[in-house]
Amino acid sequence: MTIRNIIGFIATAIIFVVAILVGRALWVHYMDEPWTRDGRVRAEVVNIAPDVSGAVVELPVKDNQMVHKGDLLMQIDPSHYQIAVEQAEAAVAARKAELTMKLDDARRRADMDSLVVSQENRENASHTANSAQAQYQQAIAALDAARLNLERTRVISPVDGYITNLQVFKGDYAIAGQAKLAVVDSHSFWVYGYFEETKLPHVQVGNKADIKLMSGGTLEGHVESISRGIYDRDNPQSRELLADVNPTFNWVRLAQRVPVRIHIDKVPDGMILSAGTTCTVVVKPGA
């Protein structure tokens, strides 16, 4: 065997060994290491619904605008609620005058001699005064409710965030309890990584994680929690609440994906996060 043949054999063996090692490394990387391309950026979305009904007379915000907690989002027509407050104030004044009269009457009867006013009349006057007191307190409560409704015509933001998909306009009629706009909480972004169940043994709460956005940015985070359940599509309930077992079985079983919540430790300056965008999540088991 010539030297050239020996060198060729050795080179072939080296290439074969390297190919095996690379193949094994790729197999371990794709099958065992805890990473997934199926990641989603998520955030808390606050649905803003007015507490009172009325026409929208002021809308100082625009779509995708940044707002702060306490900023005015929309103003409901306060005219009817201002009138309700004035009526409630008048009712309070009337009940107060009536209470004063009843108390004076009860006091006068209590000071009279028993030969002039009977015990029954004294007790009736006292009960009447107590009833007037209760009606006065009821009127005050109605006034507080009217003032609260007037205050609630100003719909303010409960969080710092961004207006999204604005579909309300000045002049629209807002109905109490029905959401009119949404605010994405800017302090609530997190990532859901959907890991194959075969990789979950390598994922622990507290592990560091790299989040690579499809837009090109990279974030740092850590595993916050692991979901404890996903829906079993092969075992739904029947209408009789019995297990509806599928009589067929697929021999090729794909690994289920389990949501893993990743807390974002820091967002680089200038990076824009949007809920619903995709990313790749790589967990570092040793960290």
287 residues of the chain, pLDDT tens digit each: 577 777 766 777 677 666 666 666 555 555 557 889 999 999 999 999 999 999 999 999 999 999 999 999 999 999 999 999 999 999 999 988 888 887 777 666 666 656 555 665 656 666 677 788 888 999 999 999 999 999 999 999 999 999 999 999 999 999 999 999 999 999 999 999 999 888 888 899 999 999 999 988 899 999 999 999 888 776 666 677 777 777 777 766 778 899 999 999 988 888 899 999 999 999 988 76
pLDDT at residue 16, as a whole number: 66
Strands, sheet with 154-156, edge to edge from the N-terminal-most edge strand: 154-156, 72-76, 54-58, 173-174
Between CA 92 and CA 11 the distance in angstroms is: 101
Query: What's the distance, CA 101 to chain centroid?
Result: 53
Between CA 207 and CA 30 the distance in angstroms is: 19
Between CA 230 and CA 78 the distance in angstroms is: 47
Q: Taking the domain 34-44+187-284, which CATH number applies?
A: 2.40.30.170
Between CA 186 and CA 231 the distance in angstroms is: 30
pLDDT at residue 109, as a whole number: 60
Cα 251 to Cα 64, 103, 254, distances in angstroms = 48, 88, 10
What single DSSP character describes residue 217? -
Of 236, 187, 218, the closest CA to residue 281 belongs to 218
Contact of 272 with 43, CB cutoff 8 Å: no
